[in-house]
Amino acid sequence: MKIVFFGSSHFAVPALEALINSRHEIICVVTQPDKKKGRHLHVSGTEVKNIASGAGLKIFQSENIKSKESVKFLKNSQADVFVIVSYGQILSQEILDIPKIMPLNIHASLLPRYRGAAPINWAIINADKKTGVTIMYVTAKMDCGPVLIQKEIKINEDDTFISLEEKMSKLGAELLIPALTSIENKDYRLIDQDEEAAVYAPKLNKEIGLIDWSAQAVNIASQIKGVLPWPGAFTLYRKKILKIFKAEVIQVFSSHKAVPGEVLRIDKDAIVVACGKGFLKIKELQLESGKRMPAGNFIIGHNLSAGVVLGQAG
């Protein structure tokens, strides 16, 4: 079949690679415009553009995919199917009506759970034990289209957004080719989503990374893993932002009645902090204007002692 692929982020790369290695014809790859990135603000393309360029594929970039020029270009593609994976712009109904057969989307959740921009993040933040990938027929209403295929994946205790995204992107790629085959053979079945079971996963903002030490340790640990790499979990230490990248929940080790956020113990390679319920062992962190480092190195370089309360502005 003739495919137009829409994608921009790292999550879309395995799906594009699967298509490149399949017998389907990729007419064009649609991706976000080049942007200035990095410390020196060099202009660079998306990860999807880099893969497409290396494969010699035609590339289309538009600041506004709904523009007349964009719609005209897509109509001229004569595509059978649009495959949309983490593209970054909302497609109008006019665009969704263009492919001869259907527009497909690979979504990183078991829909209708976690519709929206950040399904992987929220699955980890909410300490879910499983999630999955859904390939669905795209409708104008966000993530509400009927489901073509779904597959579960276990969320491991040590999974962060980064590790889980990598696994889920590969799972989506594995499901894509069988999904296209079923469409080609006309033996697929579309199943409507249960609207009453819908859960939304809104886009993250910086505030979602702020640690509330009065929360349970298990919830804070999930928050830390779920907001990597952005915005990152953070608290305050001596009026500076202290980012926490790695931590684990530990059992109660003391009868001391601690204030949430209080540093209870300094180990050789960890900082033990009291939470609203339970205790957290911080293992990797970064102070504002400093470098990311293991807790052991941080302890050596800073005069941190038991009794200090994290999160206080003063």
Helix axes 161-185, 13-20, angle to 10 degrees: 40
- Over residues 12-27, the pLDDT tens digits come to 999 999 999 999 999 9
Is 255's pLDDT higher than 70?
A: no
Please state which CATH class domain 206-301 belongs to: alpha beta
Percent of the chain with pLDDT over 90: 90
Q: How many whole angstroms separate alpha carbon 172 and alpha carbon 85? A: 9
Query: Listing from the earlier edge strand, what are the strands of the sheet with 130-137?
Result: 59-61, 25-31, 2-7, 81-85, 102-107, 130-137, 147-154
Note the pTM of the prediction, 2 decimals. Answer: 0.94
Provide CATH 3.10.25.10 ranges for the chain. Answer: 206-301
So what's the pLDDT on residue 13? 98
Confidence bin at 252 (pLDDT 50/70/90) = low
Return the CA Rg of the chain: 23
- Over residues 44-79, the pLDDT tens digits come to 899 999 999 999 999 999 999 999 999 999 999 999
Q: How many whole angstroms separate alpha carbon 161 and alpha carbon 119? A: 10
Query: Residue 239 carries which side chain, given as an amino acid letter?
Result: K
Averaged pLDDT, 155-175: 98
Confidence bin at 38 (pLDDT 50/70/90) = low
Provide CATH 3.40.50.170 ranges for the chain. Answer: 2-197
CATH of segment(s) 2-197: 3.40.50.170
Mean pLDDT of all residues in the chain? 95
- Indicate the helix (H) or strand (E) that contains 71: helix 68-76
So what's the pLDDT on residue 314? 58
